Each structure stands twice: as C-alpha cells, then as structure tokens.
Amino acid sequence: MVDLKALRAEMDKRYKVIEISEQRTDLAFLECDKIDVPDAVAYLRDHEGYVHLSFITCVDRLEDEQFEIVYMLRNHEKKHDLGVKTKIDRKNPVMDSMHNHWAAVATYQRELREMFGIEFPGSPGVNRPFALESWAGPPPMRRDFDTRKYSEETYFPRPGRETHDPAEHMKKTQYPGRADL
C-alpha cells in the first residue's frame, strides 16, 4: 500500500504537482508540470522505489490542443504502479529527453517522434525511423490523421466491394423489425 497523501507532500516540496488521483489501490496517476517531469521521475526512481519503467506513451488531446505524455512506473516492493503525466503544447511538441534514466527510453522516444511527431532533442538515434521506414506523411497516430481518407486517396477500391456500418447492418440482418435497438 502506498500513502498517496505522504507521496504528494514529498513531491510538493520539490516539484509542482498539479493533481494526484487513485484509480485502484495499486494504481495512481500523478500530473506534473512539463519542466519538472525528468527530475520528478528521477526522484521517484531513486527515492520512492519506482525503479521499473513499464512504458512511455502519449494521448492526443486534440480538442485541448495538447499532447499528454504518460510515464508508467512500478514500485516492486510496494506493488504499486504510478503513471506520471504531463501536458505539452500540440503546436510545438517538444519534450525533454530522459534517455539517461532507463535504457529503453530512447526507443520509446524514437517511436513517439515517429508516431506523434514529438521532438526529443538529444535522444540518441531519435531521428532513425522505428516501424515506418520511408513514411512521408504526417505522424500517423495523431487524431487528425484520417486513416480512411488516406487509404481512399492512396489506394483504389476493388470493384463490387461494399462496406456496411456495423450497427445498421446488424439491425437489418440480425434483428429485423426491432425498433428498440
């Protein structure tokens, strides 16, 4: 069990913590200012026992014009997961690199640069393509990248092929005459 109030008090002394919320007894999320994140994560790793990095990912908050970057850490002794979140500007997506913290961070940052277009200056090999060699389009995991539009413009449909909206199609074929659906 982790005492989140005590953790918050410790973190407040050092960094600007915006919010801390508990999802389960073994999972909490902590939101920090962008500038504090590398130090806060290093503090959590070195002094609070969150030694394992599960993953780094990004959630595109298109409507707020923000990217939310999530660093998921695990404390093996207290059996607790902590997601450290921060929001960065979507128009100028730059984040401090943390490749010295864990070995896998450089790979995650490489993927985030490719999929979301977030820059991590100084991260080793960050400009090498990860999964999308010779991809010239916009970063594909962004919400405003329309996969359907892209494939319709790039590829040609096979003649005679039709596509159904699943809800409408199910209503017609599986539950004919049911008005309540």
Partner 1 sequence: MTQMPDREKFPVHTGGVENFDLESGRYMKVWQGPQHPGVTGNMALELVTSGDEIVDLKTHVGYLHRGFEKLMERRKWIQNFPLVCRICVPEPDFNEYLYAAATEELAGIEIPERAVWIRTLNLEMARLTSFLMWLGGQAGAFGMGTIGQWTVTMRDFMLDLFEELTGGRIYHMYIVPGGVRGDVPQGWFSHVLTTLKNVEKVLDDIELVLFNNAVFKKRAVGLGVITPDMVDYYGITGPNARASGVARDIRKDRSYLIYDKLDFDIITGISIGVDSDIFGRTRLRAAEMRQSISLIRQMIDKMPEGPVHVSPPNVLHWKIPAGETYLSAECTRGEYGYYIVSDGSDKPRRVYVRGPSYTHAVALFEHMAPGTNIADTAGLMVSLHTYPPEIER
Binding site for partner 1 (CB under 8 A): 23-24, 26-27, 29, 51-55, 57, 59-60, 70, 72, 76, 79, 81, 83, 102-104, 106-108, 123-126, 128-133, 140-141, 143, 147-148, 166-167, 170, 181
Distance from the Cα of residue 104 to its chain's centroid? 15
User: Please, which residue, 29 or 43, has the CB nearer to partner 1?
Assistant: 29
Strand partners, 82: 28, 73
User: Please, which residue, 86 or 123, has the CB nearer to partner 1?
Assistant: 123
Q: How far is the CB of 6 from partner 1 (least distance, A)?
A: 21
Q: How far is the CB of 87 from partner 1 (least distance, A)?
A: 14
Q: Rounded to an integer, what distance in angstroms lies between the CA atom of residue 45 and that of residue 119? A: 24
Question: Under a CB-based contact definition with an 8 Å cutoff, are residues 82 and 103 in contact?
Answer: no
Question: Under a CB-based contact definition with an 8 Å cutoff, are residues 17 and 28 in contact?
Answer: no
Q: Rounded to an integer, what distance in angstroms lies between the CA atom of residue 34 and that of residue 29? A: 15
Q: How far is the CB of 59 from partner 1 (least distance, A)?
A: 5
Q: How far is the CB of 150 from partner 1 (least distance, A)?
A: 11
